[in-house]
Amino acid sequence: MKPKTKSGLKIIALNRKASFNYFFEDLLEAGIVLKGSEIKSIRDGKVNIADSYAIEKNRELILINSHIASYKEASYSNHKPSDHRKLLLNRKEINKLIGKMQREGFTIIPTKMYFKNGKAKIELAVAKGKKQFDKRATKKNRDWNRDKARYIRKSS
């Protein structure tokens, strides 16, 4: 069983590599257009958003590289696991995100997928890629915080 957060959201998939590889500027929630066999597969927890990202196509945002496994019981109406999926946002939000992507060099990546009131939602992050030295600094800070907590625990 997947964990439920305090607000009643059932988390389906997390993108753990995202916070290590990107600086987040903004987080927003979007709906996602799915077929019947896709939502059944998502309810089984067979989804991977680790390497996915969003692009602009015909003034719409499309999620690329997300993998939703085929649903075994869906016979002829099954979906392709790595299809492009349309994201549902307001026109104002889409225009703002497209402008950030084109002018400022940001990218849009999913951080987690979850169910909210029975509907599949995806949390998107407007992010800027980290350089190698930024990743080393992040790892160094994480290791230091872990060691610091260990020292405090031993001293008390």
**For the segment 112-145, what is each residue's pLDDT rounded down to a tens digit?**
999 998 899 999 999 998 888 888 998 899 999 9
Least Cα distance to 28 among 61, 51, 59, 67 occurs for 61
Distances from the Cα of 118 to the Cα of 18, 58, 88, angstroms: 26, 29, 16
Structure confidence at residue 4 (pLDDT): 62
CB 62 within 8 A of CB 86: yes
Q: Which domains does the chain have, with CATH numbers?
A: 10-130 (2.40.280.10)
Q: Which helix (H) or strand (E) holds 75?
A: none
Q: Is the pLDDT of residue 59 over 80?
A: yes
